[in-house]
Amino acid sequence: MYVFVSLLSAWTVFLNLLVIISISHFKKLHTPTNLIILSLAVADMLLGVLLPVEGSRQIETCWYFGDTFCKLFLIIFGLVFSGSLSNLVLIAVDRYVAVCHPLQYPQKITTTKTLGFAWFVTDLFVSFIFPSTLIITLYLRIFYVVQQQVKVINSLMKKRKSESKAALTLGIIVVVYMICFIPYYICTMTVNSSTTINVLLLVLFTNSGLNPLIYALFYPWFKKTVKHILTLKIFQPASSLVDIFTEHQL
Provide the residue ranges of all domains of the chain, joining segments of one domain with +.
2-241
pTM of the shown model: 0.71
Q: Rounded to an integer, what distance in angstroms lies between the CA atom of residue 15 and that of residue 138? A: 28
**Interior/surface letters 12-41, b for 16+ CB within 10 angstroms, e for the rest:** bbebbbbbbbbbebbebbebbbbbbbbbbb
Q: What is the pLDDT of residues 64-118, one digit of tens each?
A: 888 888 888 887 887 787 778 778 878 888 878 887 877 777 777 776 666 676 5
What pLDDT, on the 0 to 100 scale, is given for residue 17? Answer: 93
Q: Rounded to an integer, what distance in angstroms lies between the CA atom of residue 21 and that of residue 167? A: 23
CATH superfamily, with its number, for domain 2-241? Rhodopsin 7-helix transmembrane proteins (1.20.1070.10)
Q: What is the pLDDT of residues 146-164, one digit of tens each?
A: 777 766 665 555 566 666 6
Examine the pLDDT at 25 and tell me if it is beyond 50.
yes
More confident residue, 14 or 71: 14
CB atoms within 10 A of CB 92: 25
Average pLDDT for 141-148: 76
Whether 73 and 19 have beta carbons less than 8 Å apart is answered as no
Q: Rounded to an integer, what distance in angstroms lies between the CA atom of residue 124 and that of residue 130? A: 11
Q: Is the dihedral of CA 121, 123, 124, 125 positive or negative?
A: positive
| CA distances in angstroms from 206 to 3, 13, 117, 192, listed in the order given | 14, 11, 27, 23
Lowest mean pLDDT, pick from 50-59, 131-140, 198-207, 234-243: 131-140
Q: Rounded to an integer, what distance in angstroms lies between the CA atom of residue 34 and that of residue 209? A: 18
Residue 129: which pLDDT band, with cuts at 50, 70 and 90? low
